[in-house]
Amino acid sequence: MKQLTVAILGQGRSGRNIHAHCLTTIPELKERFRIALVCDPLADRLEATAKDTGCAVSTDWRSVLARRDLDLVINASPSDQHVAITEELLGAGHHVLCEKPLARRAVEVDRLVVAAARAGRTLAIFQQSRFAPYFRQVRQVIGSGVLGRIVQIKIAFNGFARRWDWQTLQRMNAGNLLNTGPHPLDQALQLFGDADPRVLCRMDRANSFGDAEDHVKLLLWDEDRAANRPVIDLEISSCAPYPSFTYQIYGTCGGLTGGMDKMEWKWFDPAQAPRQELVPGPMPGLAYCGEQLPWQNAAWEVAPQDKDLFAAAGRDFYCMLHRHLAEGAPLEVTPAQVRRQIAVIEECHRQNPFPVKF
């Protein structure tokens, strides 16, 4: 198996605690990737990573541009730098994995797609939640068809937090929708289907010390009812003192409820249900519609080896990326898919213009 040589730009929470941690601690990834260089303007962060990995360090990310021994550069810089740095890396001939959010506007994604095509390089985006065990299970249940036609999907990524870091500043492409939002929104759009959804969004700035939103309520739907796409109700709130990271799915033959570690679903087979006929007039004996449906039940719980959800999702994402770079397998999270996500985020901000204060 070919081991790919990697550089990581940024050693903040994402670059160090997710990317460097996954690549150096997960056995499947240690054999597939080798970190040769990490870059960060803060020397103390570099010292900690160098001690853990033994790799080279640099305070100047541009030191990677001229290197030809790198198979992949991971861009874990602050969000407002993602587009400019990724574009320069692609232009220098590197395959790039960029952290989310890839961009603030869809036109910026278009620029990066053009840059990648011109250079003949891969542009990948770290949407690892696509590979989260609970989301795989949701897709499996929906795909089985037992729930019937899916009418509505409710997704909540809610908790309570007061923040005062850079992730509260609009000028740094921050706020709940661009920070947390790419995870559940990527999942939502996968479940919605290939069409571009209609968007209705209400955002608020409640507990944030910056000028970006910390509460998001988002509805996605398709006006073409014949397409039978579900309505998707998505919440990403920092105003919920009773945390909920949950899925609720409503179907014509059943539904699903649960979170990231366990879920359950129930359904019935219409062929085994009592036969009923419409009664357009008064019901006999003042009766109310009622029946005993032949419900079936099932449940899922995350496997012990996958209880660290970040590690499990990161492992499977990176294994996919290795297959793509080393063996030519398809890239399962594509820039076109992420562009659709960014277009939704852009529309949400258009509907909720907040003054830039900082």
Structural domain spans, the chain? 4-126, 130-310+340-351
Categorize the per-residue pLDDT at 226 as very low, low, confident or very high, splitting at 50, 70 and 90. confident
ω into 274 cis (within 30 of 0): no
Q: How far is CA 168 from CA 63, 180, 242, 313, 358, in A?
A: 30, 12, 22, 26, 10
Q: How buried is residue 24: exposed, middle or buried, by Cβ count under 10 Å (0-12/13-18/19+)? A: middle
Categorize the per-residue pLDDT at 17 as very low, low, confident or very high, splitting at 50, 70 and 90. very high
pLDDT in tens, 103-153: 999 999 999 999 999 999 999 999 999 999 999 999 999 999 999 999 999
What is the domain class of 4-126 according to CATH?
A: alpha beta
Three-class DSSP category at 39: strand
Evaluate if residue 286 carries a pLDDT over 80. no
> From start to end of the chain, where are the E strands?
4-9, 33-39, 56-58, 72-75, 96-98, 123-125, 150-160, 198-204, 215-221, 231-237, 239-251, 254-259, 262-267, 296-301
Three-class DSSP category at 273: coil
Q: What is the pLDDT of residue 284?
A: 85
pTM above 0.85, yes or no: yes
For 130-310+340-351, which CATH superfamily applies?
Dihydrodipicolinate Reductase; domain 2 (3.30.360.10)
